């Protein structure tokens, strides 16, 4: 998604506010949050992350934002948008069929149901997981747009393919046409973002995040900021 689409979303349901108040679930080191804030259409007002190192990174870059450690402690949250890359390990092919992590989508769904945001933006490595989320959100009254977008689509020298979901309350045909048009522009809009100089300066993994944020685990679970941007 690009800034034109995000700006359009901002104007659809919050005409009296400049930015959409956003709760970030499974925030990690803030890749999702950074990308949304860069558009100018979102304000991060809450972050949920259970890992201590990742929370420390979030506190450094978003010191004023309310933090919650455990998603089970959230009943409802006053926000316009809920975003999150719910843990992909239960659905990842890398697990080779092993149950390596708890599926936390039901908890994200519970928070969405209790908070009733205007929009939901979700990400997962698994198409199956995203389709489960889409079916659940339809029962809550949302229309759904699903797209597969990779880091390569944004000009990165690696694949990192992910499934993205946008849930919205508006007429689906118009939204789908807008989303299709904006996704089609990704290669052109992202041209030059991953030049040789920028790539050479990255530590361990080049994902568009701060060079200081280079722990392998944190980067492995991070959202590429250029995609929500």
* Catalytic residue list: 88
Joined tokens for residue 4: 């034109």
Residues 152/158/164/170 CA torsion (nearest 10 deg):
-30
**How many Cα atoms within 13 Å fall on the side-chain side of residue 20?**
28
Q: Which long-range contacts (CB under 8 A, 24 or more apart) does 133-139 make?
A: 133/86, 133/105, 133/108, 133/109, 133/165, 134/165, 134/167, 136/105, 136/109, 137/109, 137/112, 137/165, 137/167
C-alpha distances in angstroms, 116 versus 15, 61, 151, 201?
18, 27, 30, 42
Separation CA 53–CA 226 (nearest Å): 23
């Amino acid at each position: 998604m690009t800034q034109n689409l995000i700006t359009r979303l901002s104007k659809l349901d919050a005409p009296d506010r400049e930015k959409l108040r956003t709760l970030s679930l499974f925030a990690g080191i803030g890749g999702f949050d950074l990308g949304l804030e860069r558009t100018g259409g979102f304000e991060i007002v809450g972050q949920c992350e259970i890992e201590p190192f990742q929370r420390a990174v979030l506190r450094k870059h978003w010191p004023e934002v309310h933090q919650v450690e455990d998603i089970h402690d959230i009943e409802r949250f006053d926000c316009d948008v809920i975003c999150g890359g719910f843990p992909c390990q239960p659905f990842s092919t890398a697990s080779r069929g092993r149950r390596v992590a708890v599926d936390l989508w039901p908890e994200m769904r519970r928070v969405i149901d209790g908070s009733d945001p205007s929009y939901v933006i979700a990400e997962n490595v698994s198409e199956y997981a995203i389709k489960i989320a889409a079916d659940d959100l339809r029962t809550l009254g949302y229309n759904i747009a699903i797209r597969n977008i990779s880091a390569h689509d944004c000009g990165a020298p690696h694949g990192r393919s992910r499934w993205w979901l946008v849930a919205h309350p508006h007429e689906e045909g118009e939204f789908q046409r807008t989303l299709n048009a904006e996704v089609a522009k990704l290669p052109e809009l992202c041209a030059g973002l991953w030049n040789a100089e920028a790539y050479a300066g990255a530590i361990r993994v080049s994902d568009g995040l701060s060079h200081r944020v280079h722990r392998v685990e944190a980067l492995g679970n991070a959202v590429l900021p250029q995609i929500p941007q």
